[in-house]
Structure 1
């Protein structure tokens, strides 16, 4: 039976909110790293790397959950341009959640630095050390982070538009499960 659902699966909601917190934290940690040359920079970097890898792993899980569970449909009266914007923005969000950690990993590899997740766990380099490649990837990582920040803001604005103005259940479908 393929009955429509009005809410996202509990695991999908858990992953959404967990990753939302992680991504917001990452954006602030990244901004703090870029603005600091103190000993705090190293501390922030040691938070940033494992959090990025955790996001990379969770986005793979999240994609599996997304394609293996039913999603609530968008409202039938939603204009076609908004349906397209919703679909494209979700593709962009998933792509950035995957690409940004990979670019970060490649950037650290190109810098010739180890990608340490803890004092005893080191990831393999995915690129050889190369200063030119490092410089390119550092800029790419920065610009992609800005794009992610903008996309998150637009996602939040759209969610609030659905929740506060349209009141069409889109925001509620991610906030909580079915009423008992």
Structure 2
């Protein structure tokens, strides 16, 4: 079995994963609601709060990662798979920043400020722009679709390593409550 991630790394991984899935699901639900209802507006707020939280946690995760190296892949893992895994992880990191940022700028271009948790207004970095709004909406949508696909590949690869290769890769990110870190 490969060396394991620390509990802090696992916590970042699983909390961000849960928030990303929640934000994505809420995004699909809220955009399917016709009109501009109180429920839809509430879902938009929650969606933005999830996105800001993902962005904040992503910053903390990257800072953590700068000082804590990931465990090595199993020696039995082919070099091309190690390269593919590294590339996919890099793409996931880029997307957990790009998706919330694109949503933030889309909101600003729409003329709607982002007020985190209904309390903290984020800086307005761009003015409302009706020409930029549809561009940013499209960018946000397609970055989300790319993230969804990348997460799907990530999960499929983890399951392949667990059930076909049986090399312990998935277990590196699953908590074992008998150890501490």
**Given the two structures, how large is their TM-score scaled by the length of structure 2?**
0.92
Where structure 2 has 5 or more consecutive residues not aligned to the other structure, the ranges are none
Aligned length: 176
Q: Would you say 1:125 and 2:124 are equivalent positions?
A: yes
CA contact (8 A) 1:111 1:131 kept: yes
Kindly state the Cα deviation for residue 144 of structure 1 after the two structures are TM-superposed: 0.4
Q: Match of 1:83? A: 82
Indicate the RMSD between aligned Cα atoms, in angstroms: 1.5
Q: Would you say 1:7 and 2:4 are equivalent positions?
A: yes
In structure 1, distance between residues paired with 2:61 and 2:157: 21
In structure 1, distance between residues paired with 2:73 and 2:55: 27
Kindly state the Cα deviation for residue 137 of structure 1 after the two structures are TM-superposed: 0.3
Q: Match of 2:172? A: 173
Q: Deviations over 1:76-129 (max 9, x none)?
A: 121222111101100000000001111111111111111122333211112111
In structure 2, distance between residues paired with 1:148 and 1:78: 25
Q: Which SS does the other structure have where 1:129 is aligned?
A: coil
Kindly state the Cα deviation for residue 177 of structure 1 after the two structures are TM-superposed: 4.2
CA contact (8 A) 1:105 1:126 kept: no
**Given the two structures, how large is their TM-score scaled by the length of structure 1?**
0.92
